[in-house]
Structure 1
Amino acid sequence: MSELGFDGKVAIVTGAGGGLGRQHALLLASRGALVVVNDLGGAVDGTGANVGAAQAVVDEIKAAGGEAVADSNSVATPEGGEAIVKTAVDAFGRVDIVINNAGILRDKTFHNMTPELLDPVIDVHLKGAFNVTKPAWIIMREQGYGRVICTASSAGIFGNFGQTNYGAAKMGLVGFTNVLAVEGAKYNIKANAIAPLAFTRMTEDLLGPIGDKLGPEFVAPLVTYLAHESCEATGRVFSVGGGRVAEVFIGEAKGYFSPDLTPELVAENWATITDREGYAVPASTGEETALFLPFLK
């Protein structure tokens, strides 16, 4: 297979001053993409700012012969999102790829969760994806092409102790991605999400001894493929880490039907309701609704 190239394609990578985002930016640039390296340069909890983080990655890209510009606007506000996209348009004239990677952590068990711990996490992860993707989406629709990759997490898909704020934001990104895939279909805009397992400054206290085998460089190849024009996948979620890539999906069992459903019938038929044999994987709400039709005729 010939090497996947990105000559002339413009990519925005948020949170690209280190970790996963840095690897995405470096690999895309090495394949010919023109990259906006966005990073506020704050701490893991989102406090502080330093433009040097983004500029350092730009310097790496340029030293390797690539093209990139630094951007230090915050994804957490609509104005910041607009400014990030403007950086791309001013520098390169268009936007083809958006990789929503920026994130922060403010972990706490649910009974100790406060608005000060919840709101910033939602603002950066979930609203941040809205804020950056919306102005880019307008451009993608007009040009009839685009690729959006959102960074979800197993903490949202499967749950993780002490991360109700983070998990809720990350699963929200799965829903966000699914709707983008539906709405973007006729404009050749593909949207997918990843759930990465990687050793970064956000996970260094969680992964322990296996961290050495989970470098962020193992995640970038999947992101790069999903960002490529040859990728037809859309509305999908992929687990990735340490060289392993696997699709994650939400399935729906065949279920049980009764026109006279009662709580007692639910209890009596629980085994049928929860039987996972012969499940379906709907690609939209319409497809999920269609699963009801044979019972409703």
Structure 2
Amino acid sequence: MDMKTAVNNGPSPSIDQTDTKRHFMRTKTVDSLWGYFFIFPQLVGLVIFSLIPLILAFAISLMSWDGFGERTFVGLDNFLGQFKDPDFRTALVNTLYYTVLTVPTGIILAMLVAIGLNKVKGKILYRLIYFMPNITMSVAVAVVFMWLFNADFGLINLYLKDWFGIEGPRWLTDTRFVMPSIALLSIWMGLGGSMVLFLAGLQGISATYYEAAQIDGASKWQQLRHITVPLLSSTTFFVTIMSVIGSFQVFDQSFVMTSGGPAKASYTLVYHIYDSAFVDFTFGTSTSAAVTLFAMILTLTLLQMKISKRWVHYEE
């Protein structure tokens, strides 16, 4: 080989470089295989218990089926029937009312409690106490609150009469108070979970912002309004989405405490789905209501994500 040819071809790769590249590719392949191996059980569970039931739900929503006999394809008749059904409209109104009662109040209270516990001694203990209702079985909590809300011998009405001389309302049997009563229970149960999220958000705010504000003479209220709340907007956004999704799925409280009454004043969308499926045995109608609920939640979530660009701020 002459000198000119050697210069044009350049230096040939060494054997060590080739072996190193092969070893790197082999290691990467092995790591990928191990990764797929460890997530395989979760993927199987996701497909069997989530993806396949979701597809079947969409299919059954287009059919007329009592759960036992033959399935008859009816197209969109189940969905059209839902919007003509007075029970569905009642459930939708009650669910929206419940959402309005619980979501803003729960978020504000959780943020205030988190701010109050952020720098106090023993905050770990307080955090545990506030979070305990969040992990307690909702049915057990509902049974306890049935006793508290009892109009004749419940503790709430007893204290109202002894301390303030007020005759308490019939919390769970009056159409005006039943949904606020359920909302009060739900706010108490969910306060701890939202509070922990806000506490995590507060830990991520740099102290330099507050130090600079104090140097400029900002009051505590001004620091809260112009520093804490804006920098917690990303946490507030997440808590809002999760709270709205949870509020549209409320069922346990109304099922245990009131059975959807009185006069369907606590009849929610999920209760309507349950009632259509396991009381009336109209699984096609029930599934169409579930798919409609899914579409509502998805639409609200996408809408919140679009609007969030205007008010959510991230610390840089």
Q: TM-score if structure 1 supplies the norm length?
A: 0.25
Structure with more helix by fraction: 2
The structure with more radius of gyration:
2
- Does 1 or 2 have the higher relative contact order (CA < 8 Å, sep 6+)? 2
Q: TM-score if structure 2 supplies the norm length?
A: 0.23
Structure with more strand by fraction: 1
